[in-house]
Amino acid sequence: GGVCDVTSAPAKLGDNTTLPAAYPRTDPWPLVHSPLPVTLLFAFYLFVVALGPFYMRQRKPLKLRGLLIVYNLAMMTLSSYMFYEVRRQDWLLGKHLASA
C-alpha cells in the first residue's frame, strides 16, 4: 500500500491507470468534498459580474484612492518583510538561493 491507496472506487483513465475517487483526509475541507459548492460559487460570481455594472450604472464611483494607497503600502511592507525573513533564514541555515 502506497500513500494514495484508498478503498473508494477508482476512476479509470484511458491508459489503464487508476486514480482514487477522493482522498479521505480532504473530506472535512470546505469546497473539496463535492463539486457543487465550487460550481455554486462560480455561478454566483458570474451573476455578480453580470449584474454589477447594471446595478452601479446610476451611482457615483466610490472614492477609494486613499484606501488603495494605504493597502498598497501595507502589501509592499509585508512583501518586503517576508522577502527579508526568507533570505535571513536561508542565510542562517546555510542555504543560499543564488547557488541553487
Dist CA 30 CA 25 (whole Å) = 12
pLDDT of residue 66: 97
Q: Which residues of the chain have pLDDT under 50?
A: 1, 8-9, 13
pLDDT of residue 13: 47
Selection from 30, 22, 26 nearest residue 5 by Cα: 22
User: Is 75 a domain residue?
Assistant: yes
pLDDT of residue 99: 58
User: Is 70 a domain residue?
Assistant: yes
User: Is 96 a domain residue?
Assistant: yes
User: Is 83 a domain residue?
Assistant: yes
27-52 confidence digits (pLDDT tens): 788 888 778 889 999 999 999 999 98
| Three-class secondary structure of residue 74 per DSSP | helix
User: Is 12 a domain residue?
Assistant: no
Dist CA 45 CA 51 (whole Å) = 10
pLDDT of residue 18: 55
User: Is 31 a domain residue?
Assistant: no
Question: Residue 85 belongs to what domain range?
Answer: 60-100
Total number of domains in the chain: 1
User: Is 39 a domain residue?
Assistant: no
